[in-house]
Amino acid sequence: MHQRKLLIKKGAEADIYLIDWYGRKAISKVRTPKPYRHKSLDDSIRKNRTIHEGNMLSCAKMIGIRSPFIYFIDPVRAEIVMEFIEGKNAKEMMTHDLAYRIGRYAGLLHSNNIIHGDLTTSNFIVGKKLVLLDFGLAFHSVRNEDKAVDVKLIKTILKSAYSSVYERTFNGFLKGYSKMVSAKEVGRILKNVYDIERRGRYARIV
């Protein structure tokens, strides 16, 4: 199927390869076997998670999120072959305007009750369009608490990695987010973010 492949990222759940797919550059994401799980259970988990990620990528596209096109899914090998995205990683070029665009994507997902699960600047590629990657942890939910976890994660990253421009970038994110989510809902979600942060502070004190 694909003979040449280069490992570009080794993750806890999956390995990411750059491959040649019928003459074009592509990405192969392979969920690696876990020796601590019974083989039949492990095979089932990896198969189901692979299919689920493919479905979540399709759901994101249907609502207008630019994400990689899927070329091939092999549930048995727990592999997804998808489009290679040209561009720069958002984590290398964070600005107010980029944070605004990221906020719009997050708001679009949440207004359609999709939780990304790993909403970090590393999962956005800036090219001709903004592209959102890695839907391996994505799921459907109507709960504001789940949406707040996404928002809390991006807030934490902006605060720690871009401290000098944190206020500006997080405000940009919220402006973009608020374009897609009602003001009332945003207020509820931000209250949940605050509650999560407060629980974290309390846990550290105790």
Q: Which of the residues are catalytic?
A: 118
Q: Is 60 helix (H, G, I), strand (E, B) or coil?
A: helix
Instruction: Identify whether the C-beta of residue 16 lies closer than 8 Å to the C-beta of residue 8.
Output: yes
Which residues face 25 on adjacent strands? 20
CA distance 89 to 101: 14
Q: What is the 3-state secondary structure (H, E, C) of 132-176?
A: ECCCCCCEECCCHHHHHHHHHHHHHHHHHHCHHHHHHHHHHHHHH
Q: Please report, as a single letter, which amino acid is at residue 104.
A: R
Instruction: Label residue 177 exposed, middle or buried (CB < 10 Å: 0-12, 13-18, 19+).
Output: buried
